[in-house]
Amino acid sequence: MSTGSLIAVTSLPVCLWPLTRGMVSDWCFNCAGKVVNLKRLDEVINSINGWYMECGLFGLVSGVDIFSGGTIRLQVAEAEVNNISIRFLDRKTGEPTKGKKGQVYSMLQGKRDVDTVSTMGLMIDVSIIPQPAGDAGKVDLVMNVVERPSGGFSAGGGISSWITSGPLSGLIGSFAYSYRNLFGRNQKLNNSLKRGQIDSIFRINYTDPWIEGDDKRTSRTIIIQV
């Protein structure tokens, strides 16, 4: 049957997820019960494929069945997320240091996930790579992350403005150590020591952004100074 031929359409029984029957009905408005040109059918298919593209979803019309009773059935293939894994990559070589299921894979959602991990400030680089899964119509998502160095030392010295009085008068020295991902839970620990000719100040600052087991995401900060 060449393009431009006519067929009678009595119904278009398409019920897809995440597509809804209402969306398909809008695209096929005034088709049911009327003679439809195959060019119009091609427009409907392009509309469905275009919707997937605009939403950043992996899906397209994979087949069209035309039955003698005047029914057209569109088959849509959607790539569902099968497994998700996270690989930590070496900062120098880029090689792995070790090696929402069931939803249609969305590139837009993948970008949001990458941005969420990046804003934590713990990773230098974050990327998601879809790979074929064992089951047809599904993909495995591999998130590659390069961890940022977590700890660091700093030291310094100088002359205090309180040259003749105050706890840190005269020549002073300072030393600090910070760790930004304590226990792998984004907890931060800062230790600092300032030493003068007469006295010294030692400070510990500990921050837990989310207390484990608290569904309200309560944070806590502890400061000790001696």
Question: Domains of the chain by range and CATH?
Answer: 6-78 (3.10.20.310), 80-147 (3.10.20.310), 151-225 (no CATH)
How far from each other are the two terminal CA atoms of the chain, in whole angstroms?
88
Give the separation between CA 37 and CA 7, rounded to whole angstroms: 7
Classify strands 171-182 and 59-66 as parallel, antiparallel or unpaired: unpaired
Low-confidence residues of the chain: pLDDT under 70: 1-36, 70, 87-100, 160-170
pLDDT, tens only, 121-133: 788 888 888 888 8
Residue 30, token pair as written in the block: 């005034």
Give the separation between CA 190 and CA 188, rounded to whole angstroms: 7
Residue with tokens 């997937």: 52
The per-residue pLDDT for 88 is 62
| φ, ψ for residue 45, nearest 5 deg | -60, -45
Give the separation between CA 201 and CA 85, rounded to whole angstroms: 45
Is residue 109 a contact partner of residue 52, using CB atoms and an 8 Å limit? no
pLDDT, tens only, 154-184: 888 777 665 555 555 667 888 898 888 887 7
Give the separation between CA 73 and CA 44, rounded to whole angstroms: 12
pTM of the model: 0.49
Question: 3-state secondary structure string, 119-182?
Answer: HCCCEEEEEEEEEECCCCCEEEEEEEEEECCCEEEEEEEEECCCCCCCCCCCEEEEEEEEEEEE
